Amino acid sequence: MKLQGVELRRINMPLLSPFRTSFSVQTSRDVLLLRAVTDEAEGWGECVAMADPLYSSEYVDATADVLRRFFLPALAAAPEALAQHGATAVGQVLHPFKGHRMAKAALEMAVLDAELRAADRSFGRELGAVHDRVPSGVSVGIYDEIPALLDAVGGYLDAGYLRIKLKIEPGWDIEPVKAVRERFGDDLLLQVDANTAYSLRDARHLARLDDFGLLLIEQPLEEEDVIGHAELATVISTPICLDESIVSAQSAAAAIKLGACSIINIKPGRVGGYLEAVRIHDVAAAHGVAAWCGGMLETGLGRAANAALAALPGFTLPGDVSASDRFYATDITEPLRIVDGHMPVPTGPGLGVTPLPELLDEVTTTVEWVAL
């Protein structure tokens, strides 16, 4: 496979409604898409970096810059590696560059999609999927009032979602969780996500969540405070799930050994790509640690890839693999829908989905071609 060039395309995707977390309020997504053109096929990648460095140190302008100035020239200088090893060579070639995992993930995704389309193989088959559909959960943002939250949760349950994740922060935690549990009952699969909003000083307060039978509490403390999470695990009985703290198979193994988590949320963009995500899945499975696939408000491209990843055997909890209409009135691909609470895993070549040109053009803000 010879990589001829990569198109960097910025699109703006308005959200159906504001999505509020402990660190930001999003009303739209500024998305960087990559189209890798090889001598055999084209492939698409989606960068999950946000417009501002709030969830992580990465942001969209920086990912475009590092791709343009460093990553793409590095791949252009290593044609033999790509020819011999395909997408697996992307991580090897880019390894000397520190960080910028979301940019690396997007580039690897695009090259892998092109490689698999040329070989008529699907993402699911390549990653090791064992299911043809995956249970679908939904992430519910922070609201101003509990009645509005209850209405939203009720709507998602009516739509068929099997698991509810509530975003929490200091001042919006115990009462909304209690209200949801009381309204929808003990059988509801319910979990919470703090996005690093608390410190170890809040341990006793967080222990009050133990009364509600939650599946897990996700990333309560700062991403670098792995020891703090291990200490918190001795105070609360709700299982701790790590998200931002897990950036590689190595960091996953360390967190597990320290007792910092009993569950891991695996987001391919955060860890440098789908191939590293599979390695983290394997580490978790080897240690008996549950895993699930998180979401980053992806378009249909990223959702299709996430569904394929979530179909691996070690993903034992419902992930944030929601339908296109969870966030967008119109997706850039054919809409992905849930059926009986599950997302079908695409079976076509590569991602199994492709942007529709007329929809893509409507939301495109800039296009740049980088020949290699």
Residues annotated as part of the active site: 167, 267
DSSP secondary structure string, 54-69? TSSS--HHHHHHHIII
Assign 13 to helix, strand or coil. strand
326 neighbors 138 (Cβ within 8 angstroms):
yes
Give CA separation, 41 vs 44, 81, 275, in Å: 10, 18, 20
Query: Which DSSP symbol is given to 345?
Result: P
Query: How far apart are alpha carbons 79 and 64 in whole angstroms?
Result: 21
Nearest to 242 by CA among 278, 267, 277, 272: 267
Query: How far apart are alpha carbons 26 and 177 in whole angstroms?
Result: 22
- Position of tokens 């959960």? 137
Provide the token pair at 323.
């339908």
DSSP secondary structure string, 256-276? HHHT--SEEEE-HHHHTSHHH
Residues 6+ apart with CB under 8 A from 231: 200, 203
Count Cβ atoms below 10 Å from residue 201 Cβ, excluding itself: 8
- Position of tokens 């880019």? 94
- Give the ranges where 169-291 is alpha helix by DSSP (H): 174-184, 203-207, 226-232, 249-258, 268-271, 274-286
